[in-house]
Structure formats: C-alpha cells, structure tokens
Amino acid sequence: MPINLLKHILDNQTGSLNTDRVTCYRSTQHSAVVDGYYVYKQQDFIEKEWMFNDGTHSIILFANRQDHVQISTELKQETFESGWIDRGLQKKVYIHYPKEFEYLLVIRFKAQNCNSFISTYVKDSQNQCLLPIQCFFSDESMDDFFSINSVEERIKFLDSYLSCCISNDTNIESLDQAIQIIEESKGLITVGELTERLDVNYKWLERNFSKYLHFTPKEYISTQRFIQAYLNLHKDSSDLLALAINHGFYDYNHFLKEFKSYTGKTPLEYIAK
C-alpha cells in the first residue's frame, strides 16, 4: 500500500479519516473482514512513493480500466493495469505514478479474520507479494465495475462482489488471538512468548501465518514493530537512538539496518527527501 495512505489510516484510527486527500467508506456487509474502502488522491503530483504492507491484504483499483502504474522491487519492475493485489512482506517496493492520475480505490482487509477471506488468489502465486487484479476479478466483473461512474456505487458493487469471496465457515481462533496479541504489543513480543501465551507449537503458527497472511510470525512481529517506529519518526526525529530503543531495537544500528531493508534509505535520508 502507498505509505502516505497507510500512514494516514494508522495516524487517524481514533479520529476522522476523511480529508481532501483520503475518503473512507465502511463496509455495510463485511465489517468483520473489511477494514474499509479508501479513496486516495494525490494533492500534488509525486513521481514515486514507497510502499509498505503492515500485515494485511489490500486490493487496489484505479479510476479507469486503462490506467496503469509501474511498481519496482529490488529484482524487477512490473506494470499493473486496472489495479493490483497487495499482500505479504514487502521490502524496497516503490510505486511510480503516471502524470495523469485520478485516484486509487483501496479495499483494506483486517488482519484478524483474514482466514475468512477466501478467493482464487489466496492459493495462487504463493511467493508473490504483488498480484495482478485479474486474480481477483474476472474480465466480466471488471467490465461491470468500470462501467460504474460514481465511487459510491463502485463500493456498493465491491461489497456485494465480496460475498462470493468470503466464507463464514472458517474460524481459526488461535490465529486471530495471535494477531491481536502482536498488534496490542506493537511488535514488542517474541515468537516464543507468543506460542507460550497461546499454548500452540511454532510449526502450527508458522503454517497458518504463511497461509493466510503471507508472513512468518517473526516477520509479522517485525513489521508491527517497524511501522510503529516509522510513525513516531515523523512525529519526533530529534533522538533516533531513543526512538530505536523505545520500539524494541537493540540500538540505533539495528534500527538503521531494518529501516534500510524496508526503504533502501537511512532514516535521515528518508526524512530529508
């Protein structure tokens, strides 16, 4: 997910999410699974933006079917037309915007109850963090979606369409509990402590995290710890050592190494950009 949208969502969890740049709509049918539908606009054109996944699945759709973006990783650059699916661990991933850019419509799913979200793409392309939108939409469904003009009607269509992708039969209580514990601790917990609290073995935990979230438990914990440090970096960057220690890093060099692994930049380089 584009980092500025994710930062806006996480910074405003207890307040209003609606601004000139972001509009949030809640699901009327699937509130247990869908965190929200977000319309994300750029106020000023930026050529590229860092992307980060904080542990859940998102489906991103463009305003127009022919719209496309370039998304680059360390290994390759891909073009995604009409939209894409965003999931799993992402490092040094950047989205490159075209100059003619209207908005992104983002379906953000909740990490808890993610096992209820059953779609064809869940079992496809196991190791890919970015998937084409065709893994979610058939050509006929895309025709129907892009024939709708208003954002509100598009969201109604998506909320109805998701009914065929969500199963109410699957319930993995221990997985949901694990996610809740990690999020409440803000990543300040070890895998060993987690398995002890849940009374489950590591293999079970790893298998279900990988299957439904496309993270290992350790990666998910590290992701939650990192995003909390990233958010606070923007609030106060005067003492990076204290920031690192307060968020569970051994020292500043540990934080620096992890920051570069996600963004490709040092914290100071990133702030100065």
Q: What is the mean pLDDT of each run of 10 residues along the chain (273 residues)?
A: 90 74 90 91 82 93 94 92 92 91 91 62 63 89 96 96 75 87 95 95 92 91 96 88 94 95 93 79
CB of 126 within 8 A of CB of 67?
Answer: no
Could you tell me the CATH number of the domain that includes residue 25? 2.60.120
Structure tokens at 31: 């509130």
Question: pTM surpassing 0.85?
Answer: yes
Residues 131 and 39 reside in one and the same domain: yes
Give the pLDDT score at 248. 94
Residues 177 and 151 reside in one and the same domain: no
Give the pLDDT score at 108. 93
Residues 258 and 205 reside in one and the same domain: yes
Instruction: State the DSSP code for 2.
Output: B
Number of structural domains in the chain: 2
Residues 47 and 177 reside in one and the same domain: no
Task: Note down the domain range covering 88.
Answer: 3-164
Could you tell me the CATH number of the domain that includes residue 254? 1.10.10.60
Residues 185 and 153 reside in one and the same domain: no
Residues 159 and 187 reside in one and the same domain: no
For the purposes of burial, counting CB atoms within 10 Å of the CB of 45, is it exposed (0-12), middle (13-18) or buried (19 or more)? exposed
Residues 160 and 177 reside in one and the same domain: no
Give the pLDDT score at 15. 62
